[in-house]
Amino acid sequence: MLAGRYSLHALAALLVLLQMAIGFRALVPEVSPAYRAQFLERSDCSNPAAIGLYTPGGTVRPVFGSVDAAPEGIFACGWHPAEGGLWSNGGGSRLLFALPQQPTAARLAIEAGALVSDTHPAQRIVATTNGIVLGTATLTTAAPTTIAFDIPAQATVDGRLEIALSFPDATSARTIGAGRSRLLRAIFVTAVTLSPR
């Protein structure tokens, strides 16, 4: 009878462990890196959505739930909507603009704050387009700050301008002691303006 009791306890413990393993697998699925990038982290930029229509000189303030923050907007790839703006998602993000056919030189202004802490004091943003390095900017505060990049006229091809932003210092809030999120972040964008120059 005592042996039977121990068997039931062992079986119950085994079932609890099995349920915990299933729960862990559901929370942290084992998937390919490509699947993780596209569907879990939403950082894959290999198949960006349609380019958003844009009037040069206009300021876009991506608000959660707005068309500008959705895939139809200029923030089509590598962004995560949040209250008041968009977080960069992963190590790179892209901005896609539909512009007039006549290419002109422009200046891209991005209003953003950075994911920083005392142990991780800066986030670098490297901007490129069509293989042209536009420059590197550094943010050192979570407060919205404007950074700018000059864009040559030849960067616009057939009315399409695609700006790739890479974040060599991207990290998670949990890693740097700034929160509990494990998601890879670098900047929080509150406004974007592309102006002729």
The residue ranges of DSSP E strands in the chain, in sequence order, are 52-53, 59-60, 79-82, 85-88, 92-98, 106-114, 123-129, 132-139, 145-151, 160-166, 187-196
**What Å distances lie between residue 81 and 160, 186, 188, CA to CA?**
24, 14, 10
Residues 6 or more apart from 31 whose CB is under 8 A from it?
A: 39, 40
Nearest 10 degrees: Cα torsion 175, 178, 182, 187: -100
pLDDT tens per residue across span 39-95: 454 545 654 555 556 788 888 888 766 655 555 568 878 888 888 999 999 999 999
What is the model's pLDDT at position 39?
A: 46
pTM: predicted TM-score of the whole model, two decimal places? 0.75
CA 101/CA 106 separation, integer angstroms: 14
3-state secondary structure of 133: strand
pLDDT tens per residue across span 162-185: 999 999 999 999 999 988 999 999
